[in-house]
Amino acid sequence: MTADDLRQEIERTRERLGETVDELAAKADVKGRARVKATKATARARDQAAKATGQARDQAAKATAQARDQAAKATAQARDQVAEVTGRVTANDAVRRRWPLAAAAVVAIAATVVIWRWKQA
């Protein structure tokens, strides 16, 4: 072996030794490793919480819509049953019944005016 070969071998050994020292220092840095693990765990928990919140929000919206629909149906059924039992007129029936009544009133008023004018003349 020549002197240059020995120098190169020593340089390679120093590099490997430096890498080994860096690895040992990283393993000895317990606080740093714990901080990295804690950061990863926090990020994972935050992602899971966001996912769970989104799912809960979607389920709540669906449940609210279903409850609203059921309440509307129940209200309509109850209104119809009350109208049927009491014989009361519903809003649609009242509108349908008012038109003939209004037409008859207009005809009666018109006839009264015509008769009154005929007697005046």
Q: Which of these ranges, 47-51, 59-63, 76-80, has the smallest mean pLDDT? A: 76-80
Predicted local confidence at residue 96, as pLDDT: 61
Same domain? 10 vs 46: yes
Same domain? 61 vs 13: yes
* Average of per-residue pLDDT across 74-101: 71
Whether 53 has a pLDDT exceeding 90, the answer reads yes
Same domain? 81 vs 96: no
DSSP string, 2-55: -HHHHHHHHHHHHHHHHHHHHHHHHHH-HHHHHHHHHHHHHHHHHHHHHHHHHH
Predicted local confidence at residue 77, as pLDDT: 87
Whether 31 has a pLDDT exceeding 70, the answer reads yes
Domain region containing 115: 91-121
Predicted local confidence at residue 104, as pLDDT: 82
